[in-house]
């Protein structure tokens, strides 16, 4: 699957950092898991990309692939989660995290303020995200 691995994403953030060094950069990174992976090189790609995330990203929101599957199976009671189900969870988390950037408010209204409040040291900018309430894609009409 895939084919881009760690190279494409890290090259992209490196080039963006070169072009816009004064801009804040946030990334959403899905961390692979050996239990749900079908590609042998996923752990290598993730390991190799961490250095670029440390150097070129100001905020990295980590999403655990195994946790996505567990949420789909245990919480949402999906027997065979599809990529669409997993992507739905990622979309919901990304939407929730960036709400303060898209709507007016006083708290963490831009990436710089978010970093000031959440990052104790520049190289410690990795966050684990959480989201509630969780509903499946099929239950969307009941919200």
Contact 65, 39 (CB under 8 A): no
CB proximity list for 141: less than 8 A, separation 6 or greater: none
C-alpha closest to that of 30 among 96, 93, 112, 80: 93
Residue 95: its pLDDT value, please?
Answer: 93
Read off the tokens for 48.
């190799």
How far apart CA 110 and CA 100 sit, in angstroms, is: 7
User: DSSP E strands: which ranges in the chain?
Assistant: 26-31, 59-64, 126-128
Sign of dihedral through CA atoms 96, 99, 100, 101? positive
Which of 3.40.50.300, 1.10.150.80, 1.20.1330.10, 3.40.50.1440 would CATH assign to domain 5-129?
3.40.50.1440
pLDDT at 94: 94
Helix (H, G, I), strand (E, B) or coil at 27: strand
Whether a cis peptide bond, with omega within 30° of 0, leads into 133 is yes
pLDDT attached to residue 3: 61
The pTM of this model reads 0.86
Helix (H/G/I), strand (E/B), else coil: 131 = coil
pLDDT for 5: 65
> Any residues with CB less than 8 A from the CB of 79 and at least 6 apart, and which?
73
pLDDT of the residue at 141? 53
Q: What is the pLDDT of residue 136?
A: 74
Q: What pLDDT sits at residue 26?
A: 94
- The domain spans of the chain are 5-129
Question: How far apart, in whole angstroms, are the C-alpha atoms of residue 30 and residue 17?
Answer: 21
pLDDT along the chain (143 residues), means of 10: 72 95 94 82 88 95 93 90 91 91 83 90 92 74 52
The rounded percent of the chain whose pLDDT value lies above 70 is: 91
The pLDDT mean for the chain works out to: 87
């Amino acid at each position: 699957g895939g084919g881009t691995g760690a190279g494409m994403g890290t090259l992209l953030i490196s080039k963006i950092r070169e072009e816009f060094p004064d801009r804040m950069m946030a990334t959403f990174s899905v961390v692979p898991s050996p239990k749900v992976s079908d590609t042998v090189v996923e752990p290598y790609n993730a390991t190799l990309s961490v250095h670029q995330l440390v150097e070129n990203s100001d905020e990295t929101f980590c999403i655990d692939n195994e946790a996505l599957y567990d949420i789909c199976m245990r919480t949402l009671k999906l027997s065979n989660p599809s990529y669409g189900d997993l992507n739905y969870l990622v979309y919901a988390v990304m939407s929730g995290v960036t709400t303060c950037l898209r709507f007016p408010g006083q708290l963490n209204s831009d990436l710089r303020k978010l970093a000031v409040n959440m990052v104790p040291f520049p190289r410690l900018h990795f966050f684990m995200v959480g989201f509630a309430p969780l509903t499946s894609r099929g239950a969307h009409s009941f919200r």
